[in-house]
Amino acid sequence: MLIELSAVGAALAFICLVGYLIQTLRRGMVTLEETNETLVEVRKAVHDLSGEAEDLIHSANQITVDVKSKMKTVEPLLESAQDMGEVIHSVTNTVKQAATGYGYGLPPVKNEKAPNREVKIKLK
């Protein structure tokens, strides 16, 4: 009779263990389903973001091409401005040389000092 009671006790313990294992597996399945749903949402978000990123890169490439073409258009203008600056510099040097050569040999002009005047300031 003791062996029969032990067998019944072992069977009951095994049944409880199997019941607990079934509950744990069900919770695990629920967690896996939630994980799969989250993974699907993440994949969709990544797909949408990759499409937006491709559009953004395409727009950036178009802007780069546009800027390069506009720089090529403006480049001759900048070169002309540089040439004009060099010409003005040359003319300035020529005028300076002519001005110093024109007054050569003349006595320097004396500057008369202005009379000193006192300035009074009244503060309220």
Cite the DSSP H helix spans in 103-121. none
What are the tokens at 74? 């403006």
Q: pTM above the 0.75 mark?
A: no
State the distance between the two ends of the chain, measured CA to CA, in whole angstroms.
Answer: 121
pLDDT reported for residue 113 = 67
**Cα 85 → chain centroid:** 36
Dist CA 44 CA 118 (whole Å): 85
pLDDT reported for residue 98 = 78
pLDDT reported for residue 8 = 93
For the chain, what are the domain ranges?
Answer: 42-76
pLDDT tens digits along 93-119: 888 887 776 655 555 556 666 667 776
Backbone phi, psi, residue 28, to 5°: -65, -40
Q: What is the mean pLDDT of the chain?
A: 87
Flag residues of the chain having pLDDT under 50.
Answer: none
pLDDT reported for residue 12 = 95
pLDDT reported for residue 115 = 65
Tell me the C-alpha to C-alpha distance, in Å, between residue 97 and each of 90, 94, 104, 112: 11, 5, 11, 27
Tell me the C-alpha to C-alpha distance, in Å, between residue 71 and each of 32, 60, 77: 57, 16, 10
